[in-house]
Amino acid sequence: SNPSEEWAAKLKVVEKNSDGTTQTRIIRRTSSDFKFERELGEGSYSTVMLAHDIHTEKPYAVKVLDKRHIVKEKKVKYVNIEKESLNILGRRNGIVHLFFTFQDEYSLYFVLDYASNGELLSLIKKYGSLNEEVTKYYTCQLIDALKYIHDSGIIHRDLKPENILLDQDWKIQITDFGTAKFLDKDPSTGAFIDDGRAKSFVGTAEYVSPELLNDKAVGKPCDIWALGCIIFQMIAGKPPFKATNDYLTFQQVMKVKYAFSAGFPSIIRDLVKRILVPIPGDRPTIKEIKKHLFFQDINWKASETSIWYTPP
Ligand code: ADE
């Protein structure tokens, strides 16, 4: 297929004629449809910019990827995985929405939801740590979103507070699916096979699971491990495994060497202890996590778990 065709974003405009009939005009989106304002974030081969659609005034976060750099660094596969994951996960609470993509001579553009309250990491840093109630508020949303990602046959592989954005209503939007992995489908049952194997290392040292370091194994339990690290971090203000360099951090992860601070609530301590175990098969599944005492007041069927708390 023609790659530029695939990357072209089209805006469908339905126009009413005077005789009552309608016609559809296809308008191709380009970067000149947006007024770029300021930088929101920077990756190794991309920059996220705040931009307004000049026609509607709607704000977007536009991820601009440098084509030459992507090709040179052999990241084409990751860019396609990111686009495909976001297309599969679609418009759903908890996941950043990809509206459209387009390209010009130098760059690829991902037009994403603008999460106006920034990263969960900034919130943790601003307050030093989060209380039990706020931690529960974000953890519930993370669990809901992670279940949806996994049920769609996708593993995120780089969950961390930098990749958890907060929208204007303080709802989470998971972003950065550039290192996601698609699980294979069993041809006879149609179920996703979690074979726990992977070829190359990805992720961030502080949130990487022991099985990934030991056997390069990835499956749903990798994301569950990261969730455990994030829950710990919301309460403690820092991740459980963190040393002066990545090598020393990996040593701590492989030994599952971490310590709870004094005053760490015992109920959350119990949950984190169950999640941060070395054998991925011993880790609780999302279904099991939902049954933990910490969430006993949560009605998981009413997916709008967020009504009962709004952070300051
Ligand atoms: N930083 C990176 N992506 C962002 C987004 N979608 N909204 C706000 N800030 C961001």
Q: Is 153 in the pocket of ligand 1 (CB under 6 A)?
A: no
pLDDT above 90 for 166: yes
Ligand 1 midpoint to CA 163 (Å): 9
Predicted complex: ipTM over 0.90: yes
Q: Which residues contact 52 (CB under 8 A, 6 or more apart)?
A: 34, 35, 37, 58, 59, 60
Helix axis angle, 220-236 relative to 120-127, nearest 10°? Answer: 30
Q: Is 86 in the pocket of ligand 1 (CB under 6 A)?
A: no
Q: Which residues contact 111 (CB under 8 A, 6 or more apart)?
A: 9, 29, 34, 60, 62, 98, 99, 100, 101, 102
For residue 173, the ligand 1 atom closest to its alpha carbon is 6
What pTM value is reported for the model?
A: 0.89
Tell me, what DSSP letter sits at residue 301? T
Q: What is the pLDDT of residue 47?
A: 97
Contact 9, 102 (CB under 8 A): yes
pLDDT above 70 for 120: yes
What's the mean pLDDT when you consider all of the chain?
89
Mean pLDDT for 82-93 is 90
Q: What is the pLDDT of residue 301?
A: 79
- CA gap 247, 250 in Å, rounded: 5
Pocket test for ligand 1, best of 58, 114, 158, 172 (most atoms within 8 A of CB): 114
- The values of phi and psi at residue 4, to 5°, are -70, -30
- CA gap 99, 252 in Å, rounded: 40
| 30-49 per-position pLDDT tens digit | 899 999 999 999 877 899 99
Q: What is the pLDDT of residue 226?
A: 98
- The values of phi and psi at residue 174, to 5°, are -75, 135
Neighbours of 74 (CB within 10 A): 8
